């Protein structure tokens, strides 16, 4: 049998996960429901992945038919998963972009506590990098610029309750000072 040629696909990323140094999920997104259809299966995979990588010195592992690239920092592990035939360099560029974007957003203070404090913007950055498994952006500077829009520019329907209340307080304060 000749070499099996696979159709090229834009769906390069199967999942992105950030785990703490105990292997618990901080943030994870899976883009292929055929790979991990349930939350239980995702968590079992994450536990297995963490157990195989938390003491390793490598940057890449093949696990359960997936190519997984990873990076650790302080108390966090960053993972990007792709299919077994996916180009590792593409997955590494996604991982590096994710890490560098978060590092810039959190002003180089990349640790579990600061990620939780800024979870909304970290999730937004993740969405700017990858949508539905399709790589959208691999330049951390562009990602940071996209997620750093001022709250004034966000339509009222997309603002959080805290942002709306803060905006209302500002308007009341200025109307009283006039």
pTM, to two decimals: 0.78
Number of domains in the chain: 2
Asked if residue 23 is part of any domain, the answer here is: yes
CA distance 19 to 144: 22
pLDDT confidence tier of residue 17, bands split at 50, 70 and 90:
very high
* Whole-number pLDDT of residue 16: 96
The pLDDT tens digits of the residues spanning 23-66 come to 999 999 999 999 888 999 999 999 999 999 988 878 999 998 99
Q: Which residues pair with 62 in a beta bridge?
A: 67
For the cut 90, the answer to whether the pLDDT of residue 71 exceeds it is yes
111 shares its domain with 167:
no
49 shares its domain with 133:
yes
137 shares its domain with 159:
no
CATH of the domain at 29: 3.30.450.60
Asked if residue 93 is part of any domain, the answer here is: yes
Q: Domain limits at 72?
A: 15-147
Asked if residue 98 is part of any domain, the answer here is: yes
């Amino acid at each position: 049998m000749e070499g099996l040629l696979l159709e090229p696909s834009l769906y390069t990323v199967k999942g992105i996960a950030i785990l703490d140094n105990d292997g618990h999920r901080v943030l994870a997104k899976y883009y292929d429901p055929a790979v991990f259809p349930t939350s239980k299966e995702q968590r079992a995979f994450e536990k297995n992945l963490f157990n195989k990588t938390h003491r390793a010195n490598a940057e890449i592992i093949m696990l359960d038919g997936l190519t997984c690239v990873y990076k650790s920092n302080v108390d966090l592990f960053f993972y990007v998963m792709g299919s077994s035939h996916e180009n590792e360099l593409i997955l590494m560029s996604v991982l590096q972009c994710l890490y560098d974007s978060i590092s810039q957003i959190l002003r180089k203070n990349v640790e579990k506590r600061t990620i939780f404090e800024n979870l909304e913007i970290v999730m937004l950055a993740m969405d700017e990098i990858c949508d539905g498994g399709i790589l959208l952006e691999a330049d951390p500077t562009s990602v940071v610029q996209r997620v750093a829009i001022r709250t004034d520019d966000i339509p009222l329907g997309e603002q959080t309750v805290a942002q709306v209340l803060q905006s209302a307080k500002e308007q009341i304060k200025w109307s009283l000072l006039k």
